[in-house]
Structure 1
């Protein structure tokens, strides 16, 4: 009985924390990072006091909500860097980052934002961007990446990718892969006529 009394509150707290994080990802994906904390609490089915006990600030909530996505982001970049074919590795990074952001609606906004209190998140983002810059440097050395590419171009690609609007996740991911292929063609030092991935249906059929 003593063991149950000791561990049950901790289990409840962990359940509440996960419910809050799941709700935060849904709310921020739908309404952006400006969504109020009370909406996150409502979606999670907890009171504001419970929410603030776990996450005293919105910055701490956003950082925790997207920590796994940030780790995945860094893993993608380092996998691309490990490819002996620098251009292929760079293309892998562009495509998989677009897909990662497409699968996690609020992550792009979180990635772009700067929170002074979220030290770990900011450090991870800086490391990821530095790794992308190194991947780009290697790709330029092959002569296949246009020489005027700068890291801000990646930010433009991710911002545009975030605008893909599809209700179902499979269509959103398919659209993101096609968009990434278009972006990669634009970043090539020389034109390429490789076929694009299939395009999903994103708009009603045009009547004949």
Structure 2
């Protein structure tokens, strides 16, 4: 009798009608743990590595120079604060919350489903663009390691008739014309406007970039 009463008491203690004690088990296997950053520094360095690249060092100064210098910074900062930073923050927030890649993160709204694919295509095109720039950088790096760099003088096949070494330019005979108020210099037996004189460095870069 004692044994049966103990069994009944244990079974009574093991059952409860409280909702908190009810465990619902699904047929699916346990989901893997979501990955997380080891520290805030890892996350910050990863974001910096994604946001800062060759374009910040090379492309941005070039765009400033080609589009008005300091005046280019006005529309740049307007676009940065009105569109760039909000979109960048949205991408980080959605990525951290959903832990889904760029292709699937926009499935939260069916109308935005194509944004992820468009971003992937743009990334591929940008990679092709930057690969060419990196190839130029590698080419110029090895060219600069030669004993005599090719942009030192104007004796190369790509140089034009108006090419003159900066060290030899000061030895040219130049004068100001009273007719058009321009400065002319004698180069290779010809009178050439000073504005048409070019450097071997500039001609080397322009020839390699356009050929």
TM class by shorter chain equals under 0.3
More strand by share: 2
Q: Report the TM-score, using the length of structure 2 for normalisation.
A: 0.26
Q: Report the TM-score, using the length of structure 1 for normalisation.
A: 0.26
More helix by share: 1
Higher relative contact order (CA 8 A, sep 6+): 1
Structure 1 or 2, whichever has the larger Rg, is 2
